[in-house]
Every structure is written in C-alpha cells, then in structure tokens.
Amino acid sequence: MRYVNNQRERYHFKFNGMLGEDAKQDRVFDVVAKDVVLGALEGVNGTIFAYGQTGSGKTFTITGGPDRYSERGLIPRSISLIFGEAEKRSDHTFLIHISYSEIYNDAIYDLLDPDREVEDLEDLPRVRVREDEEGNVVMQNLRTCRASNEEDALALLFLGDTNRTISETPMNMASSRSHCIFSVIVEARKIGEDVVRRSKLNLVDLAGSERVKKMGIDGNTLVEARYINLSLHFLEQVIVALQERSIGHSRPHVPYRNSAMTLVLKDSLGGNCRTSMIANITFEQMHVDESISTCKFAQRVAMIANEVVVNEELDPQLVIKRLKKEVHDLKEDLRMLKGEEADRGPLTEEERERLGKDVAEYCADTSPEATLTITGGMLFVNAGGVFAKCDKDVQEYIQKLRLQIEQRDNEINVLVALLQKEKGNRIGEATFSDNSKQPQPVNEPKQPKADMNTAANGGASQSNKDHADLTNVDALVDRNKSFELFRKSYRRNQAIEDNKTTLRDKYEAAKAKGKQLNEAKEKINQLKAMIEQIRIKRSVARIVDRSMEDEPIETDPEEIKAKAALEKEKSKYKEAFYALRELKKEIEHLQMLLEQSRVRLQKDFELWLRLTARQQQESRVLHPHDDNSAADAEPSTALSVDCSQQTNTNAQRKVAWAENERPGATQDSQKNALGISNAYLQHLGLSDVDLKAVEAARPFLTGNSEADRDIIKFYEARAKLLKAYPQ
C-alpha cells in the first residue's frame, strides 16, 4: 500500500520587491519609503508600516539601530528628506507638525510630553480616540508639536523613543511591547496662492506577534503578548474585509472599532492614503510557519486598492486677507488719482515716524510675499524711498556683521565641542548622584559575565578580573568606582566609544570644510575685485584710446581667465557648503545617539546596581549560616539600604522558608558553586539542572518550592533556546 503525502511543502508569494538580510538601510528607504514621503509633500496621505513576528527586525527597519549613524531607519531618513525638499522648494511655504503615540495593551499614550519626567507608562498622557459626524478619526489629548527644522524633528523622535515600552523576550532582548505611530503633518502653500495642501504621513512600528506556547512566556509578558496578538488579529479581520470589498464581494461593514489600533489606522488602511507594507520574516526552521503567515497577510494587504486624491482646499483666512488688501490698495489708488492730498504741507513728525516704521518692517520681513504699501500721495512715496535707501544701507551693514558673528560662533562651537568631547571620556560625564530617582526595571537582569566587553583591553584574565570586581559588593560602596566597573563591562560600551570616535572625526572634517569654505569665499572676493579692476582699466584705456571702442570685451584674455577662476571657486564654495551642511546633520544625529546611549546607560546602571545588591541580600536571607554572624548580614552601606526596600511579608516569608524547609546540616554542607544547597535542588526535583540556569534564576527565587521550580525550569528552557538559536 502506498501513502500519499498531501501536506503542502512549497509556497509561492509575489511581492513588489525583496530585500535580503544584507540590505543597507538607505536602499530600504529608497525602495519602500521615498515615493511615499515625496507624495506627502504634494498633498497625498501616506502610511508605511512593518509587520512580522517578534524579533524579525521591524523596529530596526522603521526607527533604526540605536548605535550608529549608518543604521538610521525610515523615520529619521524621512525627516531628512522632508526638510531637505522643503528647503529646495523656495516657491512654497511649509508648516510641519509631528505627533508620536503608543498603543500599549489597547490603550493609547502620547509619547511627546516634554513637561514631565517619565519613569513609568502611567506618567504619559492618555489619548482618547473617536469618530466625528463625517466619520473622520479624532485623537483627543494627542500633542502635535511644530518642527521648524530637521533638528527639532529629530529631538522629538528621540524624546518619543526614550518613552517607549520595551522589555526582554525569549526571541528579542529589546522587544517593542507596543504599537507606535510616528505622524508627520505637512501643510504646503505656493507663494501668492490661496490653495493649501494638507497631508499626513504615518510611520507605524507594529509590535511582533508571538506564539505563547512555543516561546514559553508568562507573567506580564504573557499579558502583553495576548493584547498584541489580539490587536493583530483584529487588524487581519479589517484587511480581510477590505480585500473582499476590493474583489467585488458585498461587505458593508469593516470592523475598524474592534481595537484602538485599527480605528487609528482607519484612513491608512482603507481610505485616501498611499500605503506601503514591509513584511519582516525570519529564515530559521522553527519559525517557518510564522513566516508563511506573514507572507499570506502581506498578499491580502497587496490586494487592497485605495483611491488616492490630493488634499487641497482654499484657505478662507488667506482669501479674506488678500481681498482686504486689494480693497485697501484700490481705495488708496483712487485717492491718489483724485489728488485729494495735493494741497497739503510737508509731512508731520508723526507721519514720518509711522512711515519709517512701515519701511523698517518691510525691510525686516524676509518672506517672499512681503509688500510695502505707501498711502497718502507722492509726498509719502518720495519720503518712503528716502527711508528705504537709508534702511537698505543699514540692513546690508547689519547683515554683514551678522555673518561675521555667525562664522565666529561656528568656529567657537566647534572648538568648544571638541574640548567637551575630550573631557567627556572621563567618568565625570556620566556620574550620578546617590539620591537620583530609581527607574522601574524594564528588562530582565543580564549576568555580568554575559555583558563583558573586553575588546579594548583583551584577554581572559582581564575579563575574570572585571567579573570579580562586579560581584564584589564592597567595591560598590563608591558609586563612581562601581559605575566605572559597570561601564567597562557594558555590552554597548564599544558602540558608544565608536560613536565618540566617529563624532570626533566628523568635527575635524567639519572644521576642515569650514576652513575650505572661508578660503573659497576669500578667493571669490579677490577675483571679483580683480575683475572690477580689469574693467576699470579697460574703461580708462577706451577713453584715452578711441580705437579700442570697437574691440569686443570678451576678447580680453585676462578677464576671461579671472572669470573661469571665479566660477571654479564658486563651485568649490558650493561643494564645501553642501558637504558642511551634511556633516552638520550627521553630527547632530550622532550627538542624539550618544545622549540616548547615556540615558540608557544610566538606567541600566541603576537597575544593575539594585539587582546586584538585592541578589547579595537575598543570598544572606536564603543562607543565613554562611555568614560569620547575624550582624554581618545586616546592610551597612548606602547601596544596601537603597536596595533593601522589600515588603516585610516577603522578608518574613523567605526567612520562615529558610528555617522550616532547610535540610539537615550534613546535607546543607554540600553546596554547588553558586552557594545554593544541593539538597534544596533535590527537594525541587532539579538535581541535574544546568548551573547557568540556576545562576540566571537566582535573583528571582521566592522561597516557595513550586514557584522556584517553575522559575528555574523557565530559565533552563530559555538557556537551551538561546543556545540552539544564538541569533
């Protein structure tokens, strides 16, 4: 008898493009996001979102890596493109606002709140979402911040990323536990027109789906996973409904209201919007089912057809302002034509003062739409011309002085920044006071051994020495010394040092480009003066020698040579100017990365400090006979006091367990390398457990046999999973 295997083994999916694991971030942006971002500047709504299981690289794609400038994601690159294009389009005026929201456990929070210090999710403002009479989605209590330039926008992005909710899962050491929506609202108007184009660009980082049974998660991580999977399920329901509509099925209702995320993304999914989706998948064998599910979801999204139109309308305020100005100008023209002011005397002091004020305001207004309206006849017009001429000379002189001051300020800032960065390598830059606020632990503790980074000093002996120092509680009394020990073993320390080196190199390059810019400008001025002298000499020669009047000016070889040199220096000036501007962007981004790393380093240091002290304290509670005396077990340092704020019931429960369930003295004398009795492990039925799993679980042991058994088993399973799939 022959058996037929009807299980499907091959799947074929068609996509607009495929980006491998070695694809650079700039290529991802050009392929996926560039057209959508440029469309937003033309008044077309756009949305870009990444979908996939947890740990597949969605946050890295959307936001970028936290360590290096080259790892910038779609959001910072979109910001750079928007402001770069706005600067090029000098015939338009742009107003750009930014909002950043987070959907955590189906509740929406505003990530942009600079007025308060955020240490917990509940410190963020809650956002309410509803629909108005016309079916448009309205988000109440969501802050929209004006961004005048790229630096402001990146600062808002940095603020929001700092407030995001992340935690560790078996698949991802820094997993996003919420959906985040970064929105850019663009308002564009062509100069001289009343038509305004408004658009909204959404960049969405969806939290990753995960199979609870396969990952073996529990506790708060399980609750988060349940909300994430449920919201993604509702998202798929909406996509299925929209897909059925697009192929002609009768589907009157689309369940947008099932979750906060689908309601917020209502316009992006099925409205007036150009939407791009990135399907993030992994190639590991154990995650093939999730990858196939992601591809199927992407195929459904691709079948949805949105009707995209340009969002433009007449601004009534601009129309009213323009019509009022036209009426006023026509009335003044009529008065001038009638000659009503012909017989009046000279201008009074009050009239001259008012006229001078109007001229000064006009000269100070750099807007292309600035106009100067002088009423009252030719007497006022002539006086206004005198004021304008005088004011023009003053403004030119002021502008010249401002340019000189700006150049000097730039040179001073570069030198001061270089000096500060040199000093910043010392520990004083990141020293924290003893009474600093303690952040809530958001990650599971990493063992110091796993965090060792010995690339700078090298050698196993140095690593062992650092590990011994990190576990020495006496050395932790001095916060400065303990911070220095922690910083040397910090897993991101090498990336921080690399960024400091890169920033120093960028400062040197900017200084060189600034010098090149000044040299080119000086040569341009010299060549202009030379050409002027050539022309003056030629004019004098023509006056003296009448025969030279018929000779064409272009044949003067000296002037032609000077003009060619002038054009060459102008090209050098433009090249240096644009290079310096790009360096400025890179320097500012690197500064933000270093600031973000500093904040993360501070939080991780405080967390590690508390966990290390708590580990030592719990070790004394679990094994009181290991110490010489009960008095020695009392916390005697400020460090121990800071970390000893446990509830009395917990302490009593642990002591009672240590006294009542503790095996006999003969058995208790047999301990493993971690100081935990082998008898207790046998009591839990874990005599053959991996000691690394016990080491990882040790800070979380509760004293309850059943709970401790589950905790150690979880860390044992986690260690096996990480060993099988190190990536």
Residues 541-591 pLDDT 10s:
767 766 655 655 555 788 788 888 888 888 888 888 878 878 887 888 788
For residues 256 and 130, give the distance between their C-alpha atoms in angstroms, rounded to a whole number. 11
Q: Confidence class of residue 83 from pLDDT cuts 50, 70 and 90? A: very high
| Cβ 240 vs Cβ 266: under 8 Å | no
Mean pLDDT, residues 689-707 taken together: 75
Sort strands 195-205 and 179-190 into parallel, antiparallel or unpaired. antiparallel
The pair of three-digit structure tokens given for residue 221, joined into one six-digit string = 């991580």
Flag whether pLDDT at 207 surpasses 80. yes
Flag whether pLDDT at 244 surpasses 90. no
* Whole-prediction pTM: 0.58
Looking at per-residue confidence, does 726 or 62 come out higher? 62
Residue count (the chain) = 727
| Cβ 113 vs Cβ 100: under 8 Å | no
Looking at per-residue confidence, does 112 or 177 come out higher? 112
| Cβ 452 vs Cβ 508: under 8 Å | no
CA 222 to chain CA centroid, Å, is 28
**623 SS3 class:** coil
Q: Confidence class of residue 659 from pLDDT cuts 50, 70 and 90? A: very low
Scanning 471-556, the segments in alpha helix (DSSP H) are 479-489, 493-544
The pair of three-digit structure tokens given for residue 393, joined into one six-digit string = 């000379």
User: What integer pLDDT is reported at residue 380 of this predicted model?
Assistant: 54
For residues 96 and 86, give the distance between their C-alpha atoms in angstroms, rounded to a whole number. 10
| Cβ 485 vs Cβ 475: under 8 Å | yes
Give 100's strand partners: 182
The pair of three-digit structure tokens given for residue 415, joined into one six-digit string = 């030198």
Q: Confidence class of residue 172 from pLDDT cuts 50, 70 and 90? A: very low
Report which residue type is found at 331: K
Q: How many CA atoms lie within 13 A of 574 on its CB side?
A: 5
Q: In percent, how much of the chain has pLDDT > 70?
A: 65
Q: Closest Cα partner for 40 from 319, 278, 304, 276?
A: 276
User: What integer pLDDT is reported at residue 418 of this predicted model?
Assistant: 59
Q: Closest Cα partner for 589 from 700, 468, 486, 502?
A: 502
Sort strands 274-280 and 46-52 into parallel, antiparallel or unpaired. parallel
For residues 203 and 489, give the distance between their C-alpha atoms in angstroms, rounded to a whole number. 35
For residues 346 and 348, give the distance between their C-alpha atoms in angstroms, rounded to a whole number. 6
The pair of three-digit structure tokens given for residue 119, joined into one six-digit string = 């240490």
User: What integer pLDDT is reported at residue 202 of this predicted model?
Assistant: 93
| Cβ 720 vs Cβ 712: under 8 Å | no
CA angle 95, 97, 101 (to 5 degrees): 165
Give 195's strand partners: 314
CA 681 to chain CA centroid, Å, is 47
CA 583 to chain CA centroid, Å, is 18
Mean pLDDT, residues 292-302 taken together: 87
Q: Confidence class of residue 167 from pLDDT cuts 50, 70 and 90? A: low
The helix or strand, by DSSP H or E, that contains position 288, with its residue range, turns out to be: helix 288-302
Q: In percent, how much of the chain has pLDDT > 90?
A: 8
Known binder of ligand: residue 99?
Answer: no
Looking at per-residue confidence, does 345 or 114 come out higher? 114
For residues 482 and 473, give the distance between their C-alpha atoms in angstroms, rounded to a whole number. 9
Sequence-distant contacts of 685-692: CB under 8 A, at least 24 apart: 685/709, 686/712, 686/713, 689/716, 690/716, 690/719, 692/719
Other residues' Cβ atoms within 10 Å of the Cβ of residue 553: 10
Flag whether pLDDT at 330 surpasses 60. yes
Q: Which of 221-225, 400-404, 439-443 has the lowest mean pLDDT?
A: 439-443
User: What integer pLDDT is reported at residue 553 of this predicted model?
Assistant: 55
Flag whether pLDDT at 532 surpasses 70. yes
Flag whether pLDDT at 461 surpasses 70. no
Other residues' Cβ atoms within 10 Å of the Cβ of residue 299: 15
- Structure confidence by residue, pLDDT tens digits, 372-410: 555 555 555 555 455 555 555 566 667 777 777 776 676
Mean pLDDT score of the chain = 72
User: What integer pLDDT is reported at residue 665 of this predicted model?
Assistant: 37
Residues 6+ apart with CB under 8 A from 727: 284
* Residue whose structure tokens are 């971002």: 37
Count, in order, helices (H) and strands (E) of the chain.
Answer: 23, 12
User: What integer pLDDT is reported at residue 424 of this predicted model?
Assistant: 52
For residues 409 and 724, give the distance between their C-alpha atoms in angstroms, rounded to a whole number. 56
Flag whether pLDDT at 109 surpasses 60. yes
* Residue whose structure tokens are 């960024």: 499
Known binder of ligand: residue 58?
Answer: yes
Known binder of ligand: residue 39?
Answer: no
DSSP-derived letter for residue 475 is G
User: What integer pLDDT is reported at residue 385 of this predicted model?
Assistant: 53
| Cβ 34 vs Cβ 81: under 8 Å | yes
The pair of three-digit structure tokens given for residue 461, joined into one six-digit string = 């002996």
For residues 275 and 202, give the distance between their C-alpha atoms in angstroms, rounded to a whole number. 9
**49 SS3 class:** strand
User: What integer pLDDT is reported at residue 442 of this predicted model?
Assistant: 34
Q: Closest Cα partner for 273 from 183, 205, 339?
A: 183
Residues 6+ apart with CB under 8 A from 460: none
Q: Closest Cα partner for 81 from 29, 146, 31?
A: 29
The helix or strand, by DSSP H or E, that contains position 95, with its residue range, turns out to be: strand 92-104
For residues 12 and 446, give the distance between their C-alpha atoms in angstroms, rounded to a whole number. 41
The pair of three-digit structure tokens given for residue 248, joined into one six-digit string = 């002609």
Mean pLDDT, residues 81-107 taken together: 90
User: What integer pLDDT is reported at residue 325 of this predicted model?
Assistant: 79
Flag whether pLDDT at 639 surpasses 50. no
Mean pLDDT, residues 238-254 taken together: 81
For residues 354 and 268, give the distance between their C-alpha atoms in angstroms, rounded to a whole number. 53
Highest mean pLDDT among 17-21, 412-416, 703-707: 17-21
Mean pLDDT, residues 101-121 taken together: 79
Flag whether pLDDT at 181 surpasses 80. yes
Known binder of ligand: residue 57?
Answer: yes
Mean pLDDT, residues 228-239 taken together: 87
User: What integer pLDDT is reported at residue 414 of this predicted model?
Assistant: 62
Highest mean pLDDT among 214-228, 633-647, 654-668: 214-228
Known binder of ligand: residue 53?
Answer: yes
Sort strands 312-314 and 195-205 into parallel, antiparallel or unpaired. antiparallel
Known binder of ligand: residue 54?
Answer: yes
